[in-house]
Amino acid sequence: MAEEASFAALYRQHYRRVFGLCRRLLGAADEAEDAAQEAFTRGYRAFDRYDAAQPFVQWIMRIASNHCVDRIRRRARQSALFGTESTEPVPAVSADPGALTRLLEAERASAVAGAVQALPEKYRVPLLLAYYGESSYDDIASSLGITRTHVATLIFRGKQQLRQSLEHGAEDN
């Protein structure tokens, strides 16, 4: 009973964050609710093996990430969803490294979130896992079944595309 009360408190504290990650990864609110609920259910079942030395939010976000990636794979029905390291083009050199920072400062949060959602899935998923899911590159690599370097390349390319998307959005405005 005490364990259940403890878990319920953690649920109240971190549900919004987990739901937000699922929402951004899966795209649909109802599916995100299912996924978030499933993530907490799995966490509850494995709660006796949770190591308190690790922040709970990181642990539950890992569970949610793995579950969402599985759902994405099932939806796409292909295992090479994130491509292969050898076929990923080498990222181009940035002419202005600070451009994305300035764009992120200037744009509204909703515009940034929308631009992230518009990214191709293979860039959006690792980007969200890294900067919203608080996952390390190793954790992301394990979740996606790819190498750490491949994760880095996808995130780097994702940020480049994000910058281009925000630049086009700014020009249109």
- Range 25-44, binding another protein (CB under 8 A): 26-29, 31, 33, 37, 39-44
Nearest to 86 by CA among 146, 39, 41: 146
Compute the least distance from the CB of residue 23 to another protein, in Å. 6
Among 6, 55, 70, 120, binds another protein (CB under 8 A): 70
Compute the least distance from the CB of residue 170 to another protein, in Å. 15
- 169 touches another protein (CB under 8 A): no
Q: Which is nearer to another protein, 97 or 171 (CB)?
A: 97
Among 35, 124, 129, 143, binds another protein (CB under 8 A): 143
Among 4, 6, 85, 120, binds another protein (CB under 8 A): 4
Count Cβ atoms within 10 A of the Cβ of residue 65 and give its class: 0-12 exposed, 13-18 middle, 19 or more buried: buried
Q: Which is nearer to another protein, 8 or 168 (CB)?
A: 8
Compute the least distance from the CB of residue 153 to another protein, in Å. 7
- 78 touches another protein (CB under 8 A): yes
Among 55, 75, 83, 120, binds another protein (CB under 8 A): 75
DSSP 15: H
DSSP, collapsed to helix, strand or coil, labels residue 98 as coil
Q: Name the token pair of 124.
A: 């959006």
**CA separation, residue 151 to residues 6, 58, 83, 111, 148 (Å):** 35, 18, 11, 25, 5
**CA separation, residue 163 to residues 83, 120, 173 (Å):** 22, 14, 15
